[in-house]
Structures are given as structure tokens and as C-alpha cells.
Amino acid sequence: MRTATFLIDNWTLMRLGLLGGTFNPVHNGHLAIAHQTRRALLLDRILFIPTGDPPHKPSRDLAPAKDRSEMVRLAIAAEPSFALSDVETARPGKSYSVDTVRLLQQESGPQARLFFLIGLDAFLDFPSWREPESLLNLCSFVVISRPGTAFRALSALPLLPPLPVKALADLDEGRISTLEIPVGNRHLICLRLPPSEVSASHVRARIKQGLSVANLLPPPVESYILHHHLYE
């Protein structure tokens, strides 16, 4: 039976950010992005959505979904504006973002505003997703800056209306930090954030080498990894 740990009493006027990922493991960079985005867009809550186990043989470096979910729960336990959803870990087989967003919109009610948080590099693959046109009408997308990828690349992306190239260049050069563009029934929000120096692959590599991961992970997550001998 699903546990909807993110449900609260009054969804109707909620601005809800959806932050999905493997969280393998969740680290301080993820938490910083969630905090910064919530403040910048005045979101009421950020919902962390770990991906499930792959339907075929899992990657050797991918911890089981139950462990990744528990690490997220530990990481956000002290932050009332963050919550955990098992919507994808509880779903058998391959999980698609359009199914996740539809279910969350159904549970939150038609008046709730959903904001899908995604890195710029990942969003450039958006046209290949399942039902991308439907997604653009189900939720607003918050496209977050990523090192080595320019916002100007969005101007060549199919499915989007003509984008203001000068404003995208201003984002890339740091002259502005936010750009909001109507797309379908929702918005595309480009958000420039300070670059994160933490990555999950870097954390896993340090653990394999027996090196310290202090200041890279929330302490409860570090303790969980050590106790369960993950990524060794």
C-alpha cells in the first residue's frame, strides 16, 4: 500500500515543486537546489520523488529504491517545507513523468499549481519524453542552470514557442536570474542558481576510495550509508 507522506490538509492553493531523481545518494547539492528554488519561486513545498528500481538488472552503482528513499527521508526530516513521495518507487515497471504528474495533480486537486524542477541539460531531451505536449499543459517547468550548458540552447528546442534569445543570453551571462515564459496552459521558468560543487557520482567515488564525505552529505545520510555499507 502506498504511503503518501507528502499529503497535507490544504492543497487547494499550494504551489508544489516536484524534484525527481535517483538521489543516489541525496546530497547537500540537492538540498541547496530545493531551498534556493523554493525561495526564488515562493513555493509552499518541495516534493522529493526518488525513482524506482530499474525493471531489468539494476546498475551496480544504483542503491535499492528503499535505501535511496530512506536516505531522502533522513535528509529532509528537519525541514517542514520538504516532503517525500513514493509515487515512483511504489510503481512496478518503468515509470514515466507524465504518469507521475497526472497522479500528483489528481491527489492535490485542480487548483494546486505543480512546478516540475529539472536541470537544463536534462530538459534539452524533453521532446523525447512520453507525451511531452501533455506535460506542458499539466505543470510548469522550472529549468535550472547547469555547468557547461547554456540557456540559449532552449531556443532550438521543439515544442516550445519562440523564446527571447536576448533574455536567454542575459541568463547565461548572469545579468538576470529568472525568466518566465508562457507555454501552453502553464509556464517555462528558467532559473539561474549558483553552481553546485557536489555530485552523487563524486560522493560514490569518494566512498569507494574510503575518503571522507563530510560536508557533502547530511550527517544522517552519511551514517546510513556507512551502516548499510552502500557504494563500497
The secondary structure of the chain in percent helix, strand, coil, rounded to multiples of 5, reads 35, 20, 45
Per the document, the length of the chain is 232
Predicted pLDDT of residue 7: 38
- For residue 10, being part of any structural domain is answered with no
Q: What is the CA radius of gyration of the chain?
A: 18
Residue type, 169: A
Predicted pLDDT of residue 11: 46
On average, the pLDDT of the chain sits at: 91
**Exposed (0-12), middle (13-18) or buried (19+): which is 111, by Cβ within 10 Å?**
exposed
Pair 20, 52: CB distance under 8 Å: no
Predicted pLDDT of residue 185: 83
Question: Using 50, 70 and 90 to split pLDDT, how confident is the model at 1?
Answer: very low
- For residue 214, being part of any structural domain is answered with no
Q: Are strands 186-191 and 178-183 parallel, antiparallel or unpaired?
A: antiparallel
- For residue 2, being part of any structural domain is answered with no
- For residue 213, being part of any structural domain is answered with no
- For residue 157, being part of any structural domain is answered with yes
Domain that holds residue 80: 17-197
Q: What is the mean pLDDT of residues 194-221?
A: 95
- 85: domain CATH number? 3.40.50.620
Predicted pLDDT of residue 112: 92
Whether 29 shows a pLDDT value over 80: the answer reads: yes
Q: What is the mean pLDDT of residues 21-37?
A: 97
Question: Using 50, 70 and 90 to split pLDDT, how confident is the model at 91?
Answer: confident
- For residue 145, being part of any structural domain is answered with yes
pTM: 0.92
- For residue 204, being part of any structural domain is answered with no
Pair 59, 94: CB distance under 8 Å: no
Predicted pLDDT of residue 71: 98
Q: Which residue has the higher pLDDT, 183 or 185?
A: 183
Q: How far apart are CA 131 and CA 99, in angstroms?
A: 10
User: Each residue of 135-172: pLDDT tens digit?
Assistant: 999 999 999 999 999 999 999 999 999 999 999 999 99
Which of 171, 97, 108, 161 has the alpha carbon at shortest distance from 135? 97
User: Each residue of 37-56: pLDDT tens digit?
Assistant: 999 999 999 999 999 987 65
Predicted pLDDT of residue 50: 97
Question: Using 50, 70 and 90 to split pLDDT, how confident is the model at 184?
Answer: confident
Whether 3 shows a pLDDT value over 50: the answer reads: no
**Phi, psi (degrees; rounded to nearest 5) at 128:** -85, -5
Ranked by mean pLDDT, which of 34-48, 80-94, 98-112, 184-198 comes out on top?
A: 34-48
How does DSSP classify residue 3?
A: -
Number of domains in the chain: 1
- For residue 136, being part of any structural domain is answered with yes
